[in-house]
Amino acid sequence: GAGVSQSPSNKVTEKGKDVELRCDPISGHTALYWYRQSLGQGLEFLIYFQGNSAPDKSGLPSDRFSAERTGGSVSTLTIQRTQQEDSAVYLCASSSDRGNEQYFGPGTRLTVT
């Protein structure tokens, strides 16, 4: 079946602009996660959605970062007023309600110039 998909695959933006990154989880997966992968920080957790529960936002690095998940499926990660340190690969993962294995998408490479 189809895996986790993310769009765009690459995004170049100017410092100060807002960006939106999209994630389509595996159909039927109730849990959705955002991580980012950068040279200096490795793989870091950002935010986690589980069903209809309030999201776990404990990994968001600043209030410029937000995410929503509509209809329990697609999620959008928004970064406002982007900074150069936001440059990274943003990864989305999903897992089933009972499962503990997270399946990752290909990521969005964000470059802030």
Is residue 50 a contact residue for another protein (CB under 8 A)?
yes
Is residue 66 a contact residue for another protein (CB under 8 A)?
no
**Which two three-digit tokens encode residue 76?**
């959008």
Q: How far is the CB of 10 from another protein (least distance, A)?
A: 13
Helix and strand counts by DSSP (H, E) for the chain = 0, 10
Closest CA to 39 of 79, 85, 8: 85
Is residue 106 a contact residue for another protein (CB under 8 A)?
yes
Among 21, 31, 77, 88, binds another protein (CB under 8 A): 31
Query: Of the two residues 52 and 58, which places its CB atom closer to another protein in the complex?
Result: 58
Name the β-bridge partners of 4: none
Is residue 105 a contact residue for another protein (CB under 8 A)?
yes
Which string of b and e fits 37-55 if b means at least 16 CB within 10 Å?
eeeeeeeeebbbbbeeeeb
Which range in 10-18, 52-60, 69-77, 78-86 contacts another protein by CB under 8 A?
A: 52-60
Binding residues (CB under 8 A) for another protein: these are: 31, 33, 35, 42-45, 48, 50, 56, 58-59, 91, 93, 95, 100-107
